[in-house]
Structure 1
Amino acid sequence: MILNSNMQDVVTHSLKCKDANSGYMSPGALFMGSLAGCKILTFMKAAKFYKVEFSDLEVEVEADVRVTENIDDTPFKYQEYDEIRTLYSLKTKSDISEIEKVISLASKFCTVNIAIDDKIKQTFSIEIL
């Protein structure tokens, strides 16, 4: 799930569910989309607070997921997340430490991020374009 913003609009590039041409996103893809959306919006808000100027922001979220046994007597499987990685790509004249400060603040008030189990490892990286 990738989202990007030019400080005006947020554009979503979503992946379709891999299940036999369903055309729908899976619950896992929807979760990743919610997380990416929350991260991009809170990043924008935190950057404004710290007066960090940027353009062409893109947030890409990916996860290591283990599919385990079926849920009760259904064909649906449990999904266990081991690690969630976020890549922030943007154009800015600010240095990495300023961007890290923005990400730290944004992570503290992104409601989807707050809801993630503390046992799931989360990392991020920054790419200055």
Structure 2
Amino acid sequence: MPLSEQEQRLLDEMERHLMRNDADVVSAPTDGRTLSYRNIVYGTVLVLVGLGGLIVGVSTQLIVVGVLGFVVMLGGVVLAVTPTRGIPRTPVDTGRPAPKTASSPSFMDRMNDRWDRRQEGP
């Protein structure tokens, strides 16, 4: 069931408000540290190699090979989940003017006012 025009406008306005005021929710890494896809791939490969080494170590009863396989697996996981320092991304200029925030109350302020009036009763 598609949204009505009014519902679509309200949804769009809520999304804009969220993007403008709750940027920390939208983009978690804000200090320039992000996960590198290359490190994730290398870490995954290391985990698979380490798992193979662990299996070989267990099946041949060579404890040293099993321990080395586990250490390689652990290193792969650490490599995959460690964020790298990258270039901080700046917002892309879309050519549109910045939204007017000071001239009118925000959507959430209006909704809170409506809620308060509704709770006060007639």
Q: What is the TM-score of this pair, normalised by structure 1?
A: 0.27
- Bigger radius of gyration: 2
Q: What is the TM-score of this pair, normalised by structure 2?
A: 0.28
Structure having the higher strand fraction is 1
Structure having the higher helix fraction is 2
